[in-house]
Amino acid sequence: MSDTPVDPDEVRHVADLARVDVDDDDVDRFTEQFADILDYFETLDEVPEVERDADLVNVMRPDEVRESLSQEEALANAEETEDGYFKGPNVS
């Protein structure tokens, strides 16, 4: 079991916030598990930070203005159109 103090009342409080009914047997078990989880977080705090290069590179291409399809060309292969727009199925 963990050295981190976790009170059974805290477990009941968390269960109430989550709107979960917890039996007394489960409260004892969850108290131990919560304490273990908090210990894991303390262990993560001990992990040293790693220095990383701050040189980030933009991999996106710059926007370019260029010729595009006409409305008729864009709609040429559409199954259905209406008033110069794509027409899809009705959603109910």
Phi, psi for 14 (deg, rounded to 5)? -65, -40
- Separation between Cα atoms, residue 11 and residue 63, nearest integer Å: 54
Phi, psi for 7 (deg, rounded to 5)? -90, 140
Using N-to-C axis directions, what is the helix angle for 24-45 and 8-17, rounded to 10°? 100
pLDDT score recorded for residue 22: 92
**Other Cβ atoms closer than 10 A to 31:** 20
CATH of 8-46, one of 1.10.10, 1.20.1420, 1.10.3470, 1.10.20: 1.10.20
Q: Is the pLDDT of residue 1 over 70?
A: no
pLDDT digits (tens, 9 = 90+) for 18-42: 999 999 889 999 999 999 998 898 8
Q: Domain locations in the chain?
A: 8-46
pTM: 0.45
Q: Is the pLDDT of residue 12 over 70?
A: yes
pLDDT score recorded for residue 56: 79
